[in-house]
Amino acid sequence: MKVYQRFCKFLDALYLGGGVLASLFLIAILVLIVVQMMARWTGQVFSGAPDYAGYCMAAASFLAFAHALNRGAHIRVSILLNAMGDKKRYWLEIWCFTLGAAAATYLAWFAVKATRWSHKFHDISQGQDATPLWIPQLGMSIGAVLLAICFWDNVLRLIVLKKHAIQAEVVQH
């Protein structure tokens, strides 16, 4: 059991790392916007800045999903879950997490597949930046895989430890 709990701590650190990376991508968006504004004020052109900001936004969103799930930031139907008895709630949560895990695994599978094909065919963006598309797709793929792992982790935690990893289920006032 202690080995499993250490593994859970490792996974929690992995999700936190995804959240930290997501915040760095948000900072990168801020820097891109400021640099683009300064370029306009000085009469220069920073081509591709909107494209790079879009890539950073996609990476930030996907990398933050697993961390957000365990922090209770995703929408859950807590009213329904709280109305259930303990045994019914347990089985409903297993069903919900398993359904979420299957959907996240499906998403991760196709995100990784799309990234692999973009790399294989040397696909580039249509914008002025002509960035190889596998580079911005990599953040999406990693984030989707992290989300799938997080959902399966919560299913296993419910089965083994009888408790999921979501820390806050309701919004604090």
pLDDT tens digits for 24-38?
A: 999 999 999 999 999
3-state secondary structure of 29: helix
| pLDDT confidence tier of residue 150, bands split at 50, 70 and 90 | very high
Residue 173 confidence (pLDDT)? 43
Q: Which one is predicted more confidently, 83 or 23? A: 23
**What's the predicted TM-score (pTM) here?**
0.87
| pLDDT confidence tier of residue 168, bands split at 50, 70 and 90 | low
Query: Quick one: which H or E segment has residue 25?
Result: helix 2-41
